[in-house]
Amino acid sequence: MSLDRPSTAATADRGADDDAAVAADLLGDRTRARARTHLARTAGLFAALGVLVVCALLSIAVGAKAIPVATVWDALWSYDGSYDHSVVRELRLPRTVLGIFVGAALGLAGALMQALTRNPLAEPGILGINSGAAAAIVVAIFVFGLTSPSSYLWFAFIGAGVAAVLVYSLGSGGRTGTTPVRLALAGTAVAAVLQGFVHTVFMLDDFVFDRIRFWQVGSLVGRDLDIFLQVWPFLAAGIVIALLLGPALNTIALGEDLAAALGARINRTRAATAVAIILLCGAATASAGPIWFVGLAVPHVARVLVGADQRWLLPYSAVLAAVLLTAADTVGRVVLPNGELEVGIITALVGAPVFIALVRRKKMARI
């Protein structure tokens, strides 16, 4: 009997060593898999940035008058005052820069709204946020006579915030509580009322109509660098806040009870998210008008690429939305022989089918 005991102990030790080796192998495999995933996502983000650079160069080069890329490069770095250089520096460059920042703002706003409300239909246009900002800007022009983005920018922020509170209040009422479809219906109804108000003002005042008729459909036409300089601090602040919210939004996605147990500050995260959304939507609408569906379609594309991790989803949404808006603006310039389509029309043509497909899904998976 005494001879069996060392043998049994040795067998137990070998079994423990084997279990430890298996656990170490599994841990190593998971670590390597995470490293590969991180590398793939990083490479994908840099690839998207490369596509954005190409779209930006095409946006500067393509238009009613095609300008060679070499001339574009010279205009950017060796400006000589010629006609082509003036077109690049004074017309197309500000339009392209504004399109990149507005696109990033709308993509981030849509991703934040979908994460915060856990609603796959959330988007600044569909939930009436852009319409609220637009209606407030019309009030600023019609009632107070304000005409520059810097003067009516605060109206855009107030309008976006009021519209967000109103839509959420309407969409969360009733016995069923808040659902994706209820929020979408409430946002559509509020947006319709606000658009009706805007068009009524157009009929009453020709000055307001002439001042913002192209802006109303979402446009980058005629935007100079001064407009970008007036709104960029708010766009930049909203983008930075949004990108910093990724880890906190990941924690909240686990559920409020578990997030609270993990030490997440839920109310502070919600408040910061709301501030970021209002900054992004207000500044984007003030500078380019209400542009729909960018914030809806792009986060879903980003989610397919990188999953639901907000640390990756948010930067992907920003870059891909900038690509979409810049490309849509470029396409709008060449699609008609004697004119151009506003960027808001192009994004609506792209985003509306995505919205319909999401609504028709039998099961609206919670994000």
Cα-based distances in Å from 290 to 131, 149, 222, 267? 6, 14, 16, 29
- Indicate the length of the chain as a whole number: 367
Exposed, middle or buried: residue 59 (CB in 10 Å: 0-12, 13-18, 19+)? buried
Whether 46 contacts 316, CB under 8 Å = no
Q: How far apart are CA 359 and CA 189, in angstroms?
A: 16
The predicted model scores a pTM of 0.84
**What is the torsional sign of CA 29, 32, 38, 44?**
negative
Continuous segment of H or E residues that includes residue 206: helix 206-216
Please count the other Cβ atoms lying within 10 Å of the Cβ belonging to residue 162.
18
Looking at residue 298, what is its pLDDT?
93
Whether 249 contacts 115, CB under 8 Å = yes
Where do we find the tokens 């001042």? Answer: 211
Domains, in order of start, for the chain: 99-360 (1.10.3470.10)
Whether 126 contacts 132, CB under 8 Å = no
Q: How far apart are CA 45 and CA 43, in angstroms?
A: 5
Looking at residue 247, what is its pLDDT?
92
Least confident of 3-17, 68-82, 272-286: 3-17
Give residue-wise pLDDT tens across range 67-107: 888 888 888 888 888 888 888 888 899 999 999 999 999 99
Whether 320 contacts 302, CB under 8 Å = yes
Q: For residue 246, which of 122, 108, 46 has the smallest C-alpha distance? A: 108
Give residue-wise pLDDT tens across range 313-328: 999 999 999 999 999 9
Which percentage of the chain shows pLDDT scores above 70? 86
CA 111 to chain centre: 6
